[in-house]
Amino acid sequence: MNIFNRISSGILALLLAAVTLGGCSATNDTPLFVESNRKGGEAEAPVKDVPSDILSTQKAFSNVSKKVTPSVVNISTVSRKKFVQPFFETNPLFEDFFGAPQTRRNKSLGSGFLISKDGYIVTNDHVVRDAESVQVKLSNDKIYDAKVVGGDQKTDIAVIKITATDLPTAVLGDSDKLDVGQWAIAIGNPFGLDRTMTVGVISATGRSNMGIETYENFIQTDASINPGNSGGPLLNVYGEVIGINTAIVAAGQGIGFAIPINMAKPIFSQLIQKGSVSRGYMGVTIQPVTEELAQSFGLKQAKGALVNDVIKGGPADKAGIRQGDIITALNGNEVKDPSHLQRLVAEAGTGKVATFSIFRDGKALAVSLTLASADSMPQKAQRADRGGHQQKGEADLLGLVVDNAEEGDGVAVVDVLRNGAAAEAGIKRGDVIVSINRKRTPSLAEYTRAIQQAGQTGSVMALVRRGNASIYFALRIK
């Protein structure tokens, strides 16, 4: 009886609800929502006249997504890394008792893009480095196992390959023709969100000295780049690949970096052809040209790369390039700074004759040399020039106390006065001063004589050896 009562009560409640809803429908004709007449409703859109350029831009972005997304792939990797407690790491005998150190499987996600119909894919080296297995998912959701063809850590570029045919490929553009303010479009796999597209502009070009890679020439963009975007394409409004998305500034927003495609092409071409990358090498160490150094050398503008050491027996040494030369151009390309020269030499290739524009003793010279392979670079640089010996003295006009150098190769800095010219320039205790105003100082007597002569002009250019490196310093005598 109780069950019957509960069922009857439920049916009665449903009937009352139906009557109530029916009453609402019968007495109130107001629709629950307003629908646009662009979708078959009766209401007009809030904005009737959208500017044609906005509609064109919107359509352009949609077209880029439709045309390019099929060539963008999602990459997932699995790698194993040892997980060792510090105590066990320093006590190998415990391995016999407890067994080998455990490994931990790490999974990561990234992006890439197809450059050939038969399955070659360009991505970042850090996406696939040390991967135990690599899988690629295409835009049609097909999944393939991939093998790593080769990677280059110095530029963070890698190539992987899947076994397939007739695949959609990306079209490579010209990153040398980019201007700040142009549209930039990123497509990738951020946080595992497949085929995500973000839009921004080219914020800057030629970004270097970022501490990200050895060879840097980054495109900076504010198109959103997040973890998982690495290796995906940066595109222009034509859908052409202009860069490879690589890094972000974690503490900032809207600051992402991409490798220019023109810089990447010779790298991934070599990786496909031989699995590794060969770079040019000239055999010098270099430093930036500051305003003070430019003035000391008689150079009108602070640009180029100052040669502070020449490797004995290297291509530059054989060609006659000297310590103190300022390299201003390579094969007609103006050298902006040391990192720019480093990249130009690397890209010039091995066995190629390169012409360097040199500023020496107030004159412009041209020197040609055959670039060697960077693989032949000696582990320790051997300097082409040597100096002499000397003895201890008191603080001089530069605020330095010097002594005999153990190697007999200049003046050893024993102490640096806190407020002296040398301290302000950055000279440190333990440095060895090799020359003053381009005159060798193998002994204390010659060093003292050079300092006295410099005191008459008020400016000093010192060549300092610090460890295996040589550095020029421009100082003002107070």
Token pair for 153: 């850590």
Residue among 130, 163, 128 nearest 145 (CA): 163
Give the residue among 204, 201, 194 at the shortest CA–CA distance from 223.
Answer: 201
Q: Is 141 one of the annotated active-site residues of the chain?
A: no
Give the separation between CA 159 and CA 121, rounded to whole angstroms: 6
156 belongs to the catalytic site: yes
- What SS3 state is found at 148? strand
Contacts of 97 (CB under 8 A, 6+ apart): none
Which candidate in 125, 152, 156, 431 is catalytic? 156
What is the separation of C-alpha 96 from the centre of its chain, rounded to a whole number of angstroms? Answer: 44
230 is catalytic: yes
The residues pairing with 188 across neighbouring beta strands, listed in sequence order, are 196
DSSP string, 385-450: ------------TTSEEEEE-TTSSSEEEEEE-TTSHHHHHT--TT-EEEEETTEE--SHHHHHHH
Query: What single-letter DSSP state applies at residue 36?
Result: B
Catalytic site residue from 175, 203, 224, 230 = 230
Q: Which residue in 71, 76, 126, 435 is the catalytic one?
A: 126
DSSP structure string for 320-375: T--TT-EEEEETTEEP-SHHHHHHHHHHH-TT-EEEEEEEETTEEEEEEEE-EEGG
DSSP 8-state assignment for residue 232: P
Task: Give the residue numbers annotated as catalytic, written as ranges.
Answer: 126, 156, 230
